[in-house]
Amino acid sequence: MIVAHFNLAWEVLSRTPALARWPVRQVMLKQLYFTGTESIVTISLVGFLVGLIVITQINNLVGRNEVMTLQIMIWTIVRELGPLLTAIVIIGRSSSAFASELSSMQVNAEIKSLRRMAISPISYLVLPRVYAMILASITLTFYFQVVAISTGWIVTKMRMDISLSSQIINFFEIISFNEIAASLLKSAVFGMLVSVVSCYHGLRRKSAMTEVPQAVSQAVIRSLLAVFVGDGIITVLVF
């Protein structure tokens, strides 16, 4: 099964030129709106709460040690929680939606109908979803980190009376390019993993509507698993 996922991912990448086709770009824009724009409220809320919770715990742990506070904030929010929690929100919203939509199309013979119009379901359905999810994952991760870190700075100012300007200057002195790059790499890989796993389970051969919920739950569980495994591998390799 893992090989089949890799095959699908490879097929998607090799069909990238199909993005030049207008209907494929239309699907990508729709998916970008659904996965990206419509997730902003949830990501804002989760980012704010994570910033509040994490920084409160850090303040309790290290007190008024500003450098240590910022260092732990980068370790937790930039390196780990940003990409991971964004991926979890995306899985909750889009993984299940991808799997159920594609499964229903499979059961209703719409996938067959596309093939009969000489339209590749991989190019028309999977490719735009994968690229939309990668783009949305990178953008939402960055946005999540901005919200969580800004909340952290404000909470630190209120609780520890450390000025905002000092925190911002020190933050940009401490954070390295590698940390930002690794965070973006993680979010891109998570986007790829979640979309490929979800589309794979959506497109698997089905004969009845009763198989759709099974496909959805498998897509969600396996996407979560793939993200945690991917996170483990990237973290060990990069940090």
Partner 1 sequence: MLQAGEIRVLKVASEEAKTTVIDLALGELLPSKGEILLQGQTLDAHKPGSVGLIPAMGGLISNLKTWENITLPLWYHGSRQPQSAEEVVSRWLLELKIDKQEWEGFMAKPAARLKPWERKMAGLLRGLLLAPRLLLIDAGLFEESEAAHTESWISTLEKFVSESAHSAVLVVTSMPILLPWETIERS
Q: Which of 23, 213 has the CB closer to partner 1?
A: 23
Q: Does 118 bind partner 1 (CB under 8 A)?
A: yes
Distance, CA of 49 to CA of 87 (rounded, Å): 16
Q: Which region, judged by CB under 8 A, interacts with partner 1, from 20-28, 44-52, 64-72, 148-156?
A: 20-28
Q: Which region, judged by CB under 8 A, interacts with partner 1, from 17-25, 63-71, 79-87, 200-208?
A: 17-25
Q: Does 124 bind partner 1 (CB under 8 A)?
A: yes
Of the candidate residues 113, 163, 165, 176, the single one contacting partner 1 (CB under 8 A): 113
Distance, CA of 25 to CA of 190 (rounded, Å): 22
Q: Does 16 bind partner 1 (CB under 8 A)?
A: no
Q: Which region, judged by CB under 8 A, interacts with partner 1, from 4-12, 63-71, 86-94, 116-124?
A: 116-124
Query: Shortest Cβ distance from residue 37 to partner 1 (Å)?
Result: 18
Query: Shortest Cβ distance from residue 104 to partner 1 (Å)?
Result: 8
Buried b / exposed e along 175-202 (16+ C-beta atoms within 10 A): beeebeebbbbbbbbbbbbbbbbbbbbb
Q: Which of 100, 151 has the CB closer to partner 1?
A: 100
CB atoms within 10 A of CB 86: 29
Q: Does 24 bind partner 1 (CB under 8 A)?
A: yes
Distance, CA of 140 to CA of 172 (rounded, Å): 20
By CB under 8 A, the residues from 48 to 107 that bind partner 1 are: 101, 104-105
Q: Does 37 bind partner 1 (CB under 8 A)?
A: no
Q: Tally the C-alpha atoms within 13 A of residue 158's C-alpha that lie toward its C-beta.
A: 9
Distance, CA of 199 to CA of 157 (rounded, Å): 45
Q: Does 119 bind partner 1 (CB under 8 A)?
A: yes
Buried b / exposed e along 104-113 (16+ C-beta atoms within 10 A): ebbbeeebee
Q: Is the distance from CB of 102 to CB of 202 less than 8 angstroms?
A: yes
Query: Shortest Cβ distance from residue 18 to partner 1 (Å)?
Result: 9
Angle between helices 177-203 and 96-107 (to 10 degrees): 20
By CB under 8 A, the residues from 147 to 206 that bind partner 1 are: none
Residue 19 DSSP class: G
Interacting residue ranges for partner 1, rule: CB under 8 A: 21-24, 101, 104-105, 108-110, 113-119, 124
